[in-house]
Homo-oligomer: A and B are copies of this chain.
């Protein structure tokens, strides 16, 4: 029986041990998913808080869907640790799901991928044939650029002692239809045998189908391109949200009309793009393409449009306050929602932060109402965080940033009562304008003439 057959049989028997390095918003559901399917799972995270929480059978993350899935005690099928050495030698497959952020200079920060690789490869036994899969978003070539030197340092031979693969995470936080158990996946691997084994392994995790697409670089590139395309299409409607009001036209009416065409893609303009993928991944491709001397003008232009949206909204706010004869310096702005996406508490790369910075720079005091946002990651010296409507202080303008249910469902009559000026700017085009107007609100809309 060959190696492939052995893997296939052990897959059927669920007789495989899967290591998951990094138990964040990607790693945790992945570990829980493989555990739920019946595999032995070994989870590792560098955060003592995460480990303590999981050890107590509690959910360290902000997705309530995980609450009931977390095993209440460790056993032979579920073990967690802060040290990867404890587990890696037991694993048949090690899945690396660590962050790949950008630096302040908008350059890829691969330090987590490097550190994870170092820890993993130093614990792999010769001849084990362990498969190490990177899931973090990178630019094409990263996996094969930065891990092989670490493999060599560990005295291992790639293709014999260890196999490399790439399987980008694709799930949508807060979207139950596109979780780790539902999304289609692609696998790139250095050999066809490994690629097909991983395809079959991931097919136990997700109902969305898994495609082996060939080399690692193809899968790396596919992930980046998916996010670059979204960034670009959002950038277009954002650019249009600045063009059409200058002609006296509301961009949303135009997009609704265009959307009656069979092949139109309906994106929505907004305060800006946040999160760990779309505002980050394009910089990875831009860096790599620039190094290769390839043109990146379009991708770069899209990134600039989207990253300029918070500042544009601040300029809209200044104009609105001026029209209402309110001095912006010393005024009070209330941001409704802070996290980057409705329904989740993650504030990474949220456009609320540069918006608050721009408003503070113009002399505003900023408070933010967000019942969901992770308090530890909230910049307290920039703005005041308010968790309940009753704590909201008087304000001169409210700006809807994140369309949380808790925001849309505010008691708008009460809110207008405590406003110095009941002015609202809908930065996501989700509010019921006529009902707000009937309550006495002065309503402005992103993408509509002021």
Contacts and interface: CB of A to CB of B under 8 A. Distances in A.
Chain A binding surface, main DSSP class: helix
B292 A301 contact: no
Contacts of A289: 243, 246-247
Interface string A213-257: 110011101110110111011011001101110111100011111
Choose among A222, A261, A302 the residue with the greatest number of B CB atoms under 10 Å from its CB: A261
Given A260-B209, A298-B301, A140 B249 contact: yes
A253 B184 contact: no
A228 B230 CA distance: 16
Interface residues of A, number: 65
- Of the candidates A183, A208, A213, A254, the one having the most CB atoms from chain B within 10 angstroms of its own CB is A254
Specify how many copies of this chain sit in the oligomer. Answer: 2
A293 interface: yes
A295 B239 contact: yes
Contact of A247 (B211, B244, B263, B292): B292
A89 B226 CA distance: 55
A258 B170 CA distance: 10
A214 B305 contact: no
A297 B232 CA distance: 12
A295 B306 CA distance: 12
A313 to B, nearest CB: 14
A294 interface: yes
Contact of A249 (B217, B223, B236, B244): B217
